[in-house]
Every structure is written in C-alpha cells, then in structure tokens.
A and B are shown apart, each in its own frame.
Chain A
Amino acid sequence: MGQPPIPAVPASTSLAGKTVVVTGANAGMGLEAARQFLALGASRLVLAVRTISKGTEAATYLSAEASGTGNPHAEISVMKLDLDDYASVHAFSEQVRAQLDTLDILLLNGGVNIMSYQVSRNNHERVMQVNYYSNAMLALELLPLLKATAARPGKPSRITFVGSMGQNMHTLGKKPLANEETLVGQFDDKSKYVGLQRYSDSKLPAPAFVQELARRLSPDEIIVNNVCPGLVATGFDANLPTWLKPIMFVMRKFKARTVEEGSRALINASAVFNNESHGQLIADNKIVE
C-alpha cells in the first residue's frame, strides 16, 4: 500500500515579500523546501546549516533555481546553526534578530537519526537534543520576531515543526516515567536508551510542544503546527548501522515519496493550511485528530 499523493500547492499561493528560515537546509527535504519557497516567490530565505561551506553550495544552487522560477532577486543567506548545542541556537537567534526585520515562516526541519548513544554538547542524548530540545529553543527565541512580523498588516506568521508519525513507536509505553523522574532525565538515561526507538522518542515531543505552544498563541498572530512528510527518499539514513541501511534503502526505493513530494507536504503545512491547523499534526496532507 503506497502513501497517498500530496496535492500540489494551490496556484494562488504567493510568498512574495515574505522571509523564511529553514533549518537543516543544505540537503534533503530542507533544501528542496527552500527551493519550493523560492519558487513561490519568497523574497528572503535563510538557510540554517551546521556547515557553512555546505550551506554556501546550497545557496548557489538555490540562487540559480530561483532565477529559473521568476524570483531572481530573492535574498538567500546562510547562517550557522548547530542543533547539537544550545549556545549555537542562541547565537543563531541573535544573528537572525540582528539581520532580519521580519520573519514570516520558521520551518523547523533540522534533525538526525543515529542509533548509538551519544551525548550532545549540553550533556543530553544527542538525538533528543538535535531533533527536539534545540528546535524548541529556536521556536521560543524567535517568537518575538514572528509576533512583530504578524503585527504588520497581512497574514499571521508561521512555525512548522517537522515531525513523524513514527513517534508512536516511542519507548514511554514499555518504559513509563517513574514518579519522581523527569522526561529529560529519562531520555538522557543510557540504561533506558533503545537505539531503534530513539528517533520515535525524539519526534513524540513535537506534537506535545506544538499543542502547548498553540495554547499560548492566537492563530491570528502565529499559526504553529506539526507535519509528518511520510517516508521520503532522502539520504537521511547515512548514520544508521550498516545492517539497517539496505533495509531502509529498499523501503525508500519502493515505498518512499520523492523529495519533491515530501517537501511539498512541508510547504503545504507552513504556507497553505491556516487556522484549522493551529496546534495540530498534519499527515498525508490531512489534519490528524
């Protein structure tokens, strides 16, 4: 059974005059989402990347693509963001606030999947750090700019947190939280770490965070949602153990959406869905209730 098709972005969709920040933007869905934002006329695009040289390569590619899609004057900039490190998130946020007058769309796409227990620069389990804690921090740090942008006449600003329906394979069911234990502590605890499920653990907080953040925001000001792009044919499996790579290769080859289609799900979530998606998860281009 294949995944249902993601519909085209409505032809009337225009991001002219809009500023977009994409994390994890130098490859895979982040790069393709950036290309699609530019094709929709985004005037300014910030590529948030861990390695500046890779970001610069991506910017060169995107600039050519933007010219080809009638958006030759789009400003494309590259800024360093290492989601493994809160200090980098904070520095990135300060740079964004210093250099951007407005921020219309924040696409929290950056993430990893590794199946060995590693520790981040903030002494958290690395996948949790990169996929959740740092993305959450970034959303909170950029809220003032998103709000100030929404105060201008026009549409609300947007935060879209890329998630996964694979979140339901988390470990909390079989390893429930003890009374006095914290969730952060649980996920840092190496004795409770399960490599094959850590990605799911790291994606479960996204809908929870989005729901809690949405309670604190008016959708007339900022629409915050969560999107699952489905299984997509990217190079996301580079860090998986050797034995798993061929399995994922076959799955992505025969069952995955193309990068173009998977990224279109991100575009639809961040630029097409409106108030009805506030605080919600979107999967297969439908709100999951």
Chain B
Amino acid sequence: MKRRSPAPILASPEGKVLKGKLWTETVKDVSKVDPKLANFLN
C-alpha cells in the first residue's frame, strides 16, 4: 500500500529547485572543512 507524499513541498514544482539548492549549499558548506567533498558539486 502506498501512502501520501513524503514531503509535498519536495514534490511541488519548486521542489526540484529546492532539492538542488539544498544539495549544493550542503556540499559547499561541508567542503569548507573537507575540500575533497567539493567533488560532489559535479
């Protein structure tokens, strides 16, 4: 049985943009401490 969307905001038209922003910002932030993690921006 399938349930409701896990997070409607992520499934919304703006959701893809939000997910992309979150990923990029997260990787940029953590790579200040470990520069190797910046590879995940690609």
Provided the pairs A211-B10, A212-B19, A286-B3 are in contact, do residues A184 and B29 lie with their beta carbons within 8 angstroms? yes
In the complex, which residues of chain B have a beta carbon less than 8 angstroms from the beta carbon of A281? 6-7
Are B33 and A208 within 8 A (Cβ)? no
For this complex, into which size category does the number of interface residues on chain A fall? 35 or more
For this complex, into which size category does the number of interface residues on chain B fall? 20 to 34
The answer to whether the Cβ of A209 comes within 8 Å of any Cβ in the partner chain is: yes
Chain B stretch 1-22: residues in CB contact (< 8 A) with chain A: 1-10, 18-22
| Segment at the B interface, from A62-70, A166-174, A241-249 | A166-174
CA distance A87 to B34 in the complex (A): 9
Smallest distance from the beta carbon of A73 to chain B beta carbons, Å? 34
In the complex, which residues of chain B have a beta carbon less than 8 angstroms from the beta carbon of A286? 1-3
Are A137 and B37 within 8 A (Cβ)? yes
Across the interface, A287 reaches (CB within 8 A) one of B2, B21, B32, namely B2
Across the interface, B19 reaches (CB within 8 A) one of A87, A122, A211, A288, namely A211
The answer to whether the Cβ of A205 comes within 8 Å of any Cβ in the partner chain is: yes
Are A289 and B5 within 8 A (Cβ)? yes
Task: Identify the closest chain B residue to A87 (Cβ).
Answer: B33
In the complex, which residues of chain B have a beta carbon less than 8 angstroms from the beta carbon of A289? 2-3, 5
Task: Identify the closest chain A residue to B21 (Cβ).
Answer: A183
In the complex, which residues of chain A have a beta carbon less than 8 angstroms from the beta carbon of B21? 177, 182-183
In the complex, which residues of chain A have a beta carbon less than 8 angstroms from the beta carbon of B23? 208-209, 212
Are B27 and A208 within 8 A (Cβ)? no
Smallest distance from the beta carbon of B8 to chain A beta carbons, Å? 7
Task: Identify the closest chain A residue to B15 (Cβ).
Answer: A208
Most A CB contacts (10 A, CB to CB) among B7, B20, B23, B25 go to B7
Smallest distance from the beta carbon of B27 to chain A beta carbons, Å? 7
CA distance A211 to B5 in the complex (A): 13
In the complex, which residues of chain A have a beta carbon less than 8 angstroms from the beta carbon of B33? 86-87, 89-90, 137
Smallest distance from the beta carbon of A202 to chain B beta carbons, Å? 12
Provided the pairs A86-B30, A140-B37 are in contact, do residues A284 and B6 lie with their beta carbons within 8 angstroms? no
In the complex, which residues of chain A have a beta carbon less than 8 angstroms from the beta carbon of B29? 122, 133, 184
In the complex, which residues of chain B have a beta carbon less than 8 angstroms from the beta carbon of A33? none
In the complex, which residues of chain B have a beta carbon less than 8 angstroms from the beta carbon of A205? 22, 26
Provided the pairs A137-B34, A183-B18, A287-B2 are in contact, do residues A173 and B26 lie with their beta carbons within 8 angstroms? no
Are A140 and B6 within 8 A (Cβ)? no
List the 5 closest pairs (A to B, CB-CB), nearest first: A281-B6, A137-B30, A86-B33, A289-B2, A288-B6
Q: List 29 A-B contacts (CB under 8 A).
A: A89-B33, A137-B33, A140-B37, A140-B40, A141-B34, A165-B6, A168-B8, A177-B21, A183-B18, A183-B22, A184-B25, A184-B26, A184-B29, A204-B7, A207-B7, A207-B10, A208-B7, A208-B23, A209-B23, A209-B26, A212-B20, A226-B6, A280-B6, A281-B6, A283-B3, A283-B6, A286-B3, A288-B2, A289-B5
